[in-house]
Amino acid sequence: MEHNLIDGREKARIILEDVETRLRALLELGWNPRLVSLNIGDDRATELYVRNQKRTCDKVGITYETRNYDSRVTESEVLATIQALNADPRVTGIILQRPIPRTLDLRKIQNAIHPSKDVEGMNAQNIGSIVYGDFDLGPCTSLAAVHLLRSTGLNLEGLEVVMVGHSEIVGKPIALLLVEALATVTLCHHGTRNLNIHTRRADAVIVAVGKPGLITGDMIKPGAAVIDIGINQVEVSGPHGKVETRVVGDVDFESACRVAGWITPVPGGVGPVTVAMLLNNTVVAVERQKKRYEENVRQDIQ
């Protein structure tokens, strides 16, 4: 089967064009989006995400500030920082880089970020809003995966979609976003018996687990769309027996691309679109903050 490679970098470029247009309109009115990234500890993968986010922000003209904290920082120090950022009108968005040290309560810290500044869409209020069909500030990776599935041209209404992985920030929100679009969704996880029975009958398979090679070509219905969210570093032997580190997804690309109708590569698939969604959320957050400010001014005048 001839597969169509879904080019995440190109899809991200198109999203960012729109982001830039809306950003220019905000800047002209004196609204200057400013993101603050909180980095706790020294995770190497996080450093890479932060660099990518900063580079993309610089490209479109969004101010991106990083604040680094030692892994011994206390929870009350982090919460106090977030409270100060919530109250600072110059800061329009806050990002909490994961992972954070185990000594800190991730959920508590995530929920301390004011929902209107939660550009990652990870706050319980923003995730909960998806149930009501409001996903303007939804979790970026979930929005990215659904955007890429839509980009195939497949009609989501009635589409049989199997979501593998049910994390709070990726799998569960994706299932809700798809239900909102009237897809028929099966959510698979550790407790699922015979994963391949589910994946083989799906028109689309979305995978977010963190296990390289979990989904192989024989688990996919011919012509189905495959969206691979997984990011895994694996060691492979390169030329002259030298061991190299490579980034792969959860899907065995070699076998899956022979069966799939559409497939996302890793890297270059969901990753760049996730960053584009983060910037889109950043602009959405400022548009909302501006609207609320204008409503307050109107009320004061009346």
Does 188 sit near ligand NAP (CB under 6 A)? yes
Binding-site member from 119, 270, 279, 283 for ligand NAP (CB under 6 A): 270
With beta carbons less than 8 A apart as the criterion, state whether 90 and 262 touch.
Answer: no
Minimum distance of ligand NAP from residue 73's CB (angstroms): 22
* Part in contact with ligand NAP (CB under 6 A); list of ranges 77-85, 88-96, 118-126, 189-197: 189-197
Bridge partners, residue 212, by sequence: none
Residue 231 makes contact with ligand NAP by CB under 6 A: yes
Position 12 contacts ligand NAP (CB under 6 A): no
Spatial contact of 208 and 220, defined as CB atoms under 8 Å apart:
no
Q: What is the DSSP string of 198-266?
A: HHHT-SEEEE-SS-TT-B-GGGS-TT-EEEE---EEEEEE-GGG-EEEEEE-SB-HHHHTTT-SEE--S
Q: Which listed residue (62, 148, 209, 225) binds ligand NAP by CB under 6 A?
A: 209
Asked if 169 interacts with ligand NAP (CB under 6 A), we say: yes
Number of residues near ligand NAP (by CB under 6 A): 24
Which of 122, 143, 144, 162 shows the shortest CA–CA distance to 251? 162
47-53 contact pairs (CB < 8 A, 24+): 49/97, 50/97, 52/275, 53/95, 53/275, 53/278
Candidates 199, 274, 280, 289: give the one binding ligand NAP (CB under 6 A): 274
Distance of closest approach, residue 141 Cβ to ligand NAP, in angstroms: 4
171, 217, 261, 265: which one contacts ligand NAP (CB under 6 A)?
Answer: 171
Name the segment binding ligand NAP (CB under 6 A); options: 69-77, 99-107, 152-160, 227-235.
227-235
| Encoded tokens for 14 | 């198109």
CB of 274 to ligand NAP, least distance (A): 4
Which of left, alpha, beta for 244 (phi over 0: left; psi -120 to 50: alpha)? beta
Confirm if 61 and 22 have CB atoms less than 8 A apart: no
Cα-flanking dihedrals φ and ψ of residue 157, to 5°? -65, 120
Q: At its nearest, how many Å lie between ligand NAP and the CB of residue 248? A: 10
DSSP 137: T
Interaction with ligand NAP in 232-261: which residues (CB under 6 A)? 232
Q: Is 141 in the site for ligand NAP (CB under 6 A)?
A: yes
CA distances from 115 to 137, 216, 290 (A): 9, 39, 15
Q: By CB under 6 A, tell whether 263 contacts ligand NAP.
A: no
Nearest approach in angstroms of CB 208 to ligand NAP is: 4
Residues that bind ligand NAP (CB under 6 A): 141, 164-167, 169-171, 188-190, 192, 195, 208-211, 229-232, 270-271, 274
